[in-house]
């Protein structure tokens, strides 16, 4: 009850903006000259952050100037500090930003719930941002990220890096070329159950905080909780509502990406989930979400249905895929796009397959080359080319995925989304979940 009223009050006041994390209002960077080097800093240098950092730093035009992690052990800050030994080291990203005069680009590779607070603060300083998927923890934050990128004219890239893989680029090209005709319906899935903790009660008690972990900094904007070994940091935060976005949040921005790109989708009109009832703190371990989007130039009719299956066996639906022979083994994760002239299977992550096979000989399928998703961002910051998962694209994709996670809270109920007004128009309780309360003293400075 208390949470509900906080949430409502917040939605109301959020557009007016109140700020506890105050940062200087001037900006250092814009697009650099083509010969200039890009100074970067990484926030979250362990886990996926390690490959993000190395991916961007692979550009000879990039200099790593700052490293920030709340965990000083070898697999987190330690290995990055060893490799980029000249870079300044931080445990608090706010201090890094305070001292970031020489830095033009920030990598955000923390758990989901800290993406927006860090990235928004960085963009407000005029920094270019490379941010992990899903772009944010809430729908409201996703819209804020889009607004900030536009307002501060910075180069952005969400790290759904498979978008730049030859497989996904080829799938998008196939749809755009008209090979399968207008698309009639889409089914996307992650068939495996996640390996991380989920659908459990919050553990009781507290464990000693290891000396190398700054637990208070890890919690950031989230509600304060006792440290529990192996429960949250690292990696297992995914299954907890306060920190992660469940399996749909974890995989949606990857698997739905070629669907969004190829069909030029933007925002769903409605969504309906079916899922077991959700525990108070953790995410469910399976769900199905049916999204209906307005039709586009690549779809048949005035709307298109996209169904997401989360740890649900897709095989009982094979009857929907008339072009696919029964002996073909569907991938463990991926999408099927049923078109007027053929059916496209987009495995996650492998080259797409077209059906009926006799109609689409493999040697005739155009193969798109791979692009370096990381260096593409660094180059764009330096004035060379553009990014493809900039926040104008990544925010609507993330909003859709996170709307799906709201739907999971209200199984069986059709939610009607008005993207322009940012309203779930028929469901006040679902509307409340577009945003969340922030820990006192950690409230982001919102964009208006
Ligand atoms: N694009 C992909 O293929 C892919 C793959 C895995 C993870 N991810 C995403 O990457 C992000 C991180 O996931 P992970 O699996 O690496 O998590 P993790 O918990 O294993 O690693 C996160 C790292 O960030 C550090 N960290 C946490 N909070 C911090 C803070 N406030 N300031 C500085 N450092 C902080 C941690 O100490 C750790 O080093 C998530 O958003 C996740 O969804 C993306």
**For residue range 59-93, what is the model confidence (pLDDT) as tens digits?**
999 999 999 999 999 999 999 999 999 999 999 99
| Backbone dihedral angles phi then psi of residue 60, each to the nearest 5 degrees | -65, -15
Q: pLDDT class for 28, splitting at 50, 70, 90?
A: very low
> pLDDT tens digits, residue range 173-212?
999 999 999 999 999 999 999 889 889 999 999 999 999 9
The whole-number average pLDDT for the span 324-343 is 97
CA of 238 to the centre of ligand 1 (A): 10
Q: Which atom of ligand 1 is nearest to the CA of 220?
A: 31
> pLDDT tens digits, residue range 285-308?
999 999 999 999 999 999 999 999
Is residue 9 scored above 50 in pLDDT?
no
**By three-state DSSP, how is residue 98 classified?**
helix
Q: pLDDT class for 1, splitting at 50, 70, 90?
A: very low
> pLDDT tens digits, residue range 429-439?
999 999 999 99
CA dihedral for 333, 196, 81, 87, sign (positive or negative): positive
Is residue 6 scored above 80 in pLDDT?
no
- Cβ atoms of 256 and 401 within 8 Å: the answer is yes
CA of 132 to the centre of ligand 1 (A): 8
**Angle at the Cα of 11 (from 6 to 13), degrees rounded to 5?**
90
The whole-number average pLDDT for the span 205-222 is 98
Q: What is the pLDDT of residue 17?
A: 31
CA of 292 to the centre of ligand 1 (A): 31
The whole-number average pLDDT for the span 330-344 is 97
Q: Which atom of ligand 1 is nearest to the CA of 48?
A: 16
Per-chain mean pLDDT for the chain: 93
Ligand 1 pocket check for 70: Cβ under 6 Å = yes
* CA-closest candidate to residue 171, choices 351, 397, 372, 356: 351
* CA-closest candidate to residue 273, choices 405, 398, 427, 397: 405
More confident call, 31 vs 381: 381
> pLDDT tens digits, residue range 115-129?
999 999 999 999 999
CA of 75 to the centre of ligand 1 (A): 12
Closest Cα to atom 36 of ligand 1: 44
The model's pTM is: 0.94
* CA-closest candidate to residue 352, choices 339, 340, 367, 373: 367
- Cβ atoms of 68 and 93 within 8 Å: the answer is yes
Is residue 409 scored above 90 in pLDDT?
yes
Ligand 1 pocket check for 161: Cβ under 6 Å = yes
- Report residue 13 as tokens: 């006041």
Q: pLDDT class for 34, splitting at 50, 70, 90?
A: low
Q: What is the pLDDT of residue 362?
A: 82
> pLDDT tens digits, residue range 363-372?
888 899 999 9
Pocket test for ligand 1, best of 42, 45, 111 (most atoms within 8 A of CB): 111
Q: What is the pLDDT of residue 2?
A: 29
Closest Cα to atom 24 of ligand 1: 44
Q: What does the radius of gyration of the chain's CA atoms come to, in whole angstroms?
A: 22
- Cβ atoms of 352 and 346 within 8 Å: the answer is yes
d(CA 376, CA 169): 15
Q: What is the pLDDT of residue 33?
A: 63
Q: What is the pLDDT of residue 76?
A: 98
Ligand 1 pocket check for 48: Cβ under 6 Å = yes
> pLDDT tens digits, residue range 105-164?
999 999 999 999 999 999 999 999 999 999 999 999 999 999 999 999 999 999 999 999
* CA-closest candidate to residue 243, choices 136, 112, 49, 402: 112
Q: Give CA 68 to chain center in angstroms.
A: 21
């Amino acid at each position: 009850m208390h949470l509900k009223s906080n949430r409502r009050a917040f939605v109301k006041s959020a557009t007016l903006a109140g700020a506890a994390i105050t940062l200087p209002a001037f900006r250092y960077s814009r697009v650099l000259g083509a010969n200039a080097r890009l100074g970067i800093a990484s926030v979250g240098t362990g886990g996926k952050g390690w490959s993000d950092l190395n991916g961007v730093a692979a550009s000879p035009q990039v200099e790593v100037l700052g490293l920030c992690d709340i965990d000083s052990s070898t697999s987190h800050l330690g290995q990055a500090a060893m490799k980029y030994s000249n870079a300044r080291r931080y445990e608090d990203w706010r201090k890094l930003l305070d001292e970031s005069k020489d830095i033009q680009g920030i990598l955000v590779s923390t758990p989901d719930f800290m993406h927006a607070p860090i990235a928004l603060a960085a963009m407000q300083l005029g920094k270019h941002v490379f941010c992990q998927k899903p772009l944010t923890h809430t729908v409201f934050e996703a819209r804020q990220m889009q607004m900030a990128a536009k307002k501060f004219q910075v180069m952005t890239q969400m790290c759904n890096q498979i978008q730049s893989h030859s497989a996904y680029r080829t799938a998008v090209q196939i749809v755009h070329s008209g090979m399968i005709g207008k698309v009639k319906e889409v089914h996307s899935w992650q068939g495996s159950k996640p390996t991380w903790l989920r659908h459990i009660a919050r553990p009781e008690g507290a464990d000693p905080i290891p000396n190398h972990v700054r637990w208070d900094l890890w919690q950031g904007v989230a509600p304060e909780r006792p440290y529990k070994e192996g429960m949250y940091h690292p990696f297992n935060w995914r299954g907890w509502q306060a920190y992660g976005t469940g399996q749909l949040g974890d995989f949606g921005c990857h698997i739905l990406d070629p669907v969004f790109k190829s069909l030029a989708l933007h925002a769903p009109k409605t969504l309906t989930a079916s899922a077991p009832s959700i525990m108070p703190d953790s995410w469910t371990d399976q769900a199905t979400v049916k999204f209906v989007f307005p039709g586009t130039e690549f779809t048949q009719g005035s709307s298109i249905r996209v169904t997401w299956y989360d740890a649900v066996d897709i095989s009982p639906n094979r009857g929907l895929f008339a072009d696919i022979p029964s002996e073909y083994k569907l991938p463990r994760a991926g999408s099927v796009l049923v078109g007027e002239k053929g059916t496209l299977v987009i495995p996650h992550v492998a080259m797409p397959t077209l059906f009926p096979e006799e109609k689409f000989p493999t040697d005739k399928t155009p193969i798109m080359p791979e692009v370096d998703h990381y260096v593409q961002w660094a180059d764009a910051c330096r004035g060379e080319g553009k990014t493809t998962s900039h926040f104008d694209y990544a925010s609507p994709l993330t909003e859709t995925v996170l709307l799906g996670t709201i739907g999971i809270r209200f199984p069986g109920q059709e939610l009607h989304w008005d993207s322009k007004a940012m309203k779930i128009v028929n469901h006040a309780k679902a509307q409340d979940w577009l945003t969340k309360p922030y820990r006192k003293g950690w409230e982001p400075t919102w964009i208006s």
